[in-house]
Structure 1
């Protein structure tokens, strides 16, 4: 039986990438010998999101090195990736729990155990060494690419400087658990460190790999670790105004919205949650990553306003 979600890109061979050169499997570090920031690029936070891992593995084979500063490449959830099955590609997102909901000291230093928690604890030194971090993801449901930049103005500026052609979205903490970009070493207002999360497109489509590479390359250029490129047109920036969590098991969208859709008028019906209606709270309302199948208590969509509107 064919999968509902066809896999249209090759599953990469990550056996070499999984070795690493730091003593932590899947973690590579390259120093230029010249002063500059330490940039960390993470792929494979979820085991079935391997488009960006293909990019980083190709960079390793090509011998990519930073022109200044330090570059680390991280292949995060290798155990989940090892379980990937193209016939049922959604099942290998994680083994025990979502690796991207564990990034707080309370979890990392607590007593609870899981495969993903052990991996997060192992990756913690590589993550916390970053001056700037880019976490590369892809999406299950149709959406335009975007870069999530938290709330810090410096992170917003870095995301815009990448020039990858993806909308920049400023959001707050994730209600389902702390993502890597929510780690206090990046998210705390007083910290000079920055973290971005790029959603490069649909999980298993060829264009997603190209967008992941554009984001990663733009990130290195913006930090001065790669050769500069001609300036790109300024991107759009949006701020999340509301995260809509499903209060019932009957949450349904009014139509099959694509992520990145902008609803022109406030008060437009976008979903029903049991007997309740969900309407846009303001004009020019972007739907950020709507999920047509959502469990009660989980975020179904985030709503965002264009900066300056």
Structure 2
């Protein structure tokens, strides 16, 4: 009897591990899009695993839906908690950048949803609105499934989804930018930075471009948004990127081409861009070292 129970227990444990590993990248992506922080997303996944390990597996009809529901609820709890913490953040808070594989860029909808620009738009949603928008628009979950995840009725979820969709539509990038167009703009931006070419920057910056910097109170960064092509171009050129100890490298960050700045060979800054109508409308400079740990290796994201 005990031996049989032990065998069954081990078999259940193996099935639990297999299911979690199968859906892990999906769960991380859900948590990351909810939180904008890889570190917080990893914490949520650890909690999800603990809940999943205690679940009655034979009673679970849809393992994917069950795991997404746990992850969503835990992400909502954490989002409400970190929202209070971000109110006292030094300077602008930017999402944690991720080094992503080329296949993320190939999935246009996924790439847009994890872009720095879209994650900043999602920051303007209330927690439940963000959860509903992400689960519906990015992961295409049914309203009934979302209702279970956020503890609302399906009718309420439909209303929340409609409201969130309209909110995001008014703020998201104005059109899908092709990878070739992104790379072209990024190359021109990089060349202008490396040569200190103010006019070259003005040629690729939108007149109303906004630069946000995130040093987290640890590294020097602009504390308030800098707006306007003239101000942004002069600020960027003033960083003296041409000195021998600094180097810019192109990389895929959050599904889009971006620049990684290294100082004396060490990772110093990530420069992600928002591109609208062929011009850079947003520059996001992440310098907080606590947010740069996921740039040492690629992060797998899945829908």
Global fold match (TM > 0.5):
no
Greater C-alpha radius of gyration: 2
- The normalised TM-score by structure 1 is 0.29
- The normalised TM-score by structure 2 is 0.30
Q: Which has the higher helix share?
A: 2
Q: Using CA pairs below 8 Å that are at least 6 residues apart, which structure has the higher relative contact order?
A: 2
Q: Which has the higher strand share?
A: 1
